[in-house]
């Protein structure tokens, strides 16, 4: 029972954390690639590594990352999921976040002959599956903070219900939720909106990445009465949610 209670608590936290991004939820429909020349691009990859191919894939990350840096990009965060607390999905071995200065750099990197050779030699034979979401930053203003490898991380793939009334539901509790969460050591690193994707996993409307100062704070936030009061309305706004809890190795 204690284990189930813990899982329920974390699930509630994951759903409620999504409150702090309501201003951006219509971004998917308005995104135009030709208007993104000067915007940062964030590529999110859910990776499934074949058994016994971990060492080969590590070589790919090292070699591919070095080429990416030549273009002014970087692998900014790698999350190793430990738990899928919401949704039904095979849990990936790793979730990568790579950033690029703009869409032009993103395209040049992916066409780089040296990178293609490394990808074909190391990544392709090491992976059994991959889903990739190419994304832009939302227009939501928030205090961006950067965590480290000691933190517990959350990654949420969010799918909204259709309809203006759900936008209003977000807005009704948006300010209250965002005022409460920092009390429990919650910090936000990314609010991004995919505009193109590859792979079997449906393209989400939003992807969020955040971290917690402690697991205790995460659990306390889930049991806070103010946060629990927001949950029913928040849950009704979503048609689907994949919420991962994990650790960072970068």
pLDDT in tens, 64-103: 999 999 999 999 999 999 999 999 999 999 999 999 999 9
Determine which helix (DSSP H) or strand (DSSP E) holds 15, and give its type and residue range.
helix 2-17
Q: How many helices (H) and strands (E) does the chain have?
A: 9, 8
Domains of the chain by range and CATH?
2-248 (3.30.70.100)
What is the rounded distance in angstroms from the CA atom of residue 2 to the CA atom of residue 6?
6
% of residues, the chain, pLDDT over 90:
62
Q: What is the pLDDT of residue 27?
A: 42
Confidence of residue 166 (pLDDT cuts 50, 70, 90): confident
Of residues 138 and 211, more confidence is placed in 211
What are the structure tokens assigned to 101, written together? 């200065």
What is the rounded distance in angstroms from the CA atom of residue 192 to the CA atom of residue 92?
20
Whether the CA torsion 180, 184, 189, 190 is positive or negative: it is negative
Residue 61: phi, psi to the nearest 5? Answer: -60, -40
* Secondary structure (3-state) at 186: strand
What is the rounded distance in angstroms from the CA atom of residue 43 to the CA atom of residue 232?
32
Say if CB 105 and CB 68 are below 8 A apart. Answer: no
Residue of 167, 155, 174 whose CA lies nearest to 27: 167
Confidence of residue 124 (pLDDT cuts 50, 70, 90): very high
Burial classification of residue 207, based on how many CB atoms lie within 10 Å of its CB (0-12 exposed, 13-18 middle, 19 or more buried): buried
Average pLDDT over the chain, rounded to whole? 85
What is the rounded distance in angstroms from the CA atom of residue 214 to the CA atom of residue 148?
12
């Amino acid at each position: 029972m204690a284990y189930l209670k813990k899982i329920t608590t974390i699930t509630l936290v994951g759903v409620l954390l999504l409150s702090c991004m309501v201003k951006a939820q219509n971004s998917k429909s308005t995104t135009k690639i030709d208007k993104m020349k000067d915007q940062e691009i964030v590529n999110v990859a859910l990776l499934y590594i074949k058994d016994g191919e971990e060492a080969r894939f590590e070589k790919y990350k090292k070699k591919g990352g070095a080429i990416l840096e030549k273009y002014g990009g970087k692998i900014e965060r790698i999350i190793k999921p430990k738990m899928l607390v919401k949704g039904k999905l095979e849990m990936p071995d790793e979730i990568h976040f790579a950033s690029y200065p703009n869409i032009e750099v993103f395209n040049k990197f992916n066409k780089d002959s040296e990178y293609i050779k490394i990808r074909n030699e190391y990544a392709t034979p090491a992976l059994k599956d991959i889903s990739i979401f190419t994304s832009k930053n939302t227009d939501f203003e928030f205090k961006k903070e950067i965590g480290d490898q000691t933190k517990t991380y959350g990654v949420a793939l969010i799918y909204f219900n259709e309809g203006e009334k759900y936008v209003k539901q977000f807005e009704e509790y948006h300010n209250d939720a965002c005022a409460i969460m920092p009390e429990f050591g919650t910090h936000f690193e990314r609010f991004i909106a995919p505009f193109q994707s590859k792979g079997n996993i449906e393209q989400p409307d939003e992807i969020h990445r955040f971290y917690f100062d402690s697991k205790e704070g995460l659990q306390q936030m889930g049991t806070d009465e103010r946060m629990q009061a927001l949950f029913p309305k928040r849950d009704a706004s979503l048609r689907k949610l994949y919420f991962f809890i994990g650790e960072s190795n970068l």
